[in-house]
Amino acid sequence: SYELTQPLSVSVALGQTARITCGGNNIGNKIVHWYQQKPGQAPVLVIYTDSNRPSGIPERFSGSNSGSTATLTISRAQAGDEADFYCQVWDSNTAIFGGGTMLTVL
């Protein structure tokens, strides 16, 4: 079965750029979505179809996908960005989530 690999945690200094990766076999050939989940809340879609932002998501959030890695980039990180982030793809009519990455803003 298809697997997605994310780092357990990523730290970023306030105002700097955070990059969260999502690895998978030829993931560049798949469509990747990203979700942000704050404690006690439901996940929120922040990037869909590799690099598109839903309305209401700041331009500081961007995404890319190529080869074996998809990347969520958060520019000018803010304290309010601290959360768990999950990537997600579809494979053989099955939705697959990565294990999640905890983002800490220092």
Partner 1 sequence: QITLKESGPTLVQPTQTLTLTCTFSGFSLDTSGVGVGWIRQPPGKALEWLALIYWDDNKHYSPSLKSRLTITKDTSKNQVVLAMTNMDPVDTATYFCAHTLTAGQLGYWGQGTLVTVSS
Which residues are near partner 1 by CB under 8 A? Answer: 1, 31, 33, 35, 37, 42-45, 48-49, 54, 86, 88-90, 93-100
Q: What is the closest distance, in whole angstroms, from the C-beta atom of residue 66 to partner 1 in the complex?
A: 18
Q: What is the closest distance, in whole angstroms, from the C-beta atom of residue 92 to partner 1 in the complex?
A: 8
Q: What is the closest distance, in whole angstroms, from the C-beta atom of residue 19 to partner 1 in the complex?
A: 20
Residue whose CB is less far from partner 1, 53 or 76: 53
Residues 6 or more apart whose Cβ sits within 8 Å of residue 44: 35, 36, 37
Residue whose CB is less far from partner 1, 17 or 104: 104
Q: What is the secondary structure of the chain as a DSSP string? A: ----B--SEEEE-TTS-EEEEEE-TTGGGS--EEEEE-TTS--EEEEBTTTBPPTTS-TTEEEEEETTEEEEEE-S--GGG-EEEEEEEEETTEEEE---EEEEE-
Residue whose CB is less far from partner 1, 44 or 76: 44
Q: What is the closest distance, in whole angstroms, from the C-beta atom of residue 37 to partner 1 in the complex?
A: 8
